[in-house]
Amino acid sequence: MIITDLSKEFHPVPKPQQKNKTENKLTTIKKQSKKQAKLERQRDKDLIKKGVCECCGKFSNRLDPHEVYGGSNRKRSIKHKFIKLICEECHSDEKVIKQLRKDVQKEYERKHTRAEFIAIVGKSYL
């Protein structure tokens, strides 16, 4: 049998594969909202960028403002001033971050109740 019309059956160039829409969503970076940028500018206005780390006590030329309760509680941390100036070494140490969360909660509970803290952050770290 001789096939004379190859247009429907033969594709010398492979068809381009379509990317999944979910892959594009995962790779895009979410832009910072205007409200979040304004909160961070207000936060940085009061902070000093060089000085003594609040965790280890070492002098550093570059201190990072660290919101103690990050993620979905980041705005609440800025609003309630749960921010500590820490050096880069302490910022990358998970044990230091866990201890900071406990210390900030103890500090907050001196003037307020634990129920109020849980209402703000969502859980107790003590």
Give how far the C-alpha of residue 114 lies from the chain's centroid of Cα atoms, to the nearest Å: 25
pLDDT in tens, 53-63: 888 888 888 78
Whether residue 7 is contained in a domain is answered as: no
Task: Give how many domains the chain has, as a whole number.
Answer: 1
Give dist(CA 106, CA 108) in Å, integer. Answer: 5
Q: Give dist(CA 74, CA 67) in Å, integer.
A: 6
User: DSSP for 6-37?
Assistant: -TTT--SSPPPPPPPHHHHHHHSPPPPPHHHH
Against a cut of 0.85, is the pTM above it? no
For residue 85, count other CB atoms closer than 10 A to its CB.
Answer: 19
Residue 59 forms beta bridges with which residues? 52
**pLDDT digits 0-9 by tens, 78-112:** 888 888 888 888 888 889 889 989 998 999 999 99
**Does the residue 25 lie in any domain?**
no
Q: Determine the Cα–Cα distance for residues 43 and 37; give it in Å rounded to an integer.
A: 10
| Domain-embedded: residue 102 | yes
Quick check: is 96 in a domain? yes
Looking from the CA of 112 toward its CB, the CA atoms found within 13 Å total 13
Structural domain boundaries, residue 58: 51-126
